[in-house]
Amino acid sequence: ARFETCWPALMKDSHGVIIVFNPELPSHLKEIEMWYSCFVQQQPLLDSQCLLVAHHKPGSAGDTEDLSLAYPLNKLKLIHSNLEEDPEDVRMEFIKYFKSIISIINESREREEMSIIS
């Protein structure tokens, strides 16, 4: 939270938010609610513009795969990343996410152009 003064600059014109957290730290689970509130809800961005990444460190317990997050975080796309075991899965999920962001940007640009024309 030291950098809160920089947040408006970080948020300006952003099209997506990726929140990476350690699912084994209870403090992180509280913090992601704050990040979601500040960076997604207050902007406002659509939930589909936010991606949660539960990152598992090498050799971690890994029994957090069935992570159940409380509302409103449970509406968001959640992926588990474990770069030792399945880096390819994570890469594919990121590509899917970026494609969805690009289509949201294109749709809003088309809407703007149509509103200018009409």
Average pLDDT over residues 89-112: 94
Query: pLDDT (tens digit, 9 = 90+) per residue, 40-51?
Result: 998 889 999 999
- State percent of the chain over pLDDT 70: 93
Write down the pLDDT at residue 105.
93
Write down the pLDDT at residue 63.
57
DSSP 33-71: HHHHIIIIITTT--GGGEEEEEEPPTT---TTTT--PPT
Query: pLDDT (tens digit, 9 = 90+) per residue, 8-24?
Result: 888 888 999 999 999 98
- Count: domains in the chain: 1
Q: Which domain holds residue 106?
A: 4-117
Write down the pLDDT at residue 22.
92
3-state secondary structure 1-29: CCCHHHHHHHHCCCCCEEEEECCCCHHHH
Average pLDDT over residues 81-108: 91
Give me the CATH number covering residue 30: 3.40.50
Write down the pLDDT at residue 5.
82
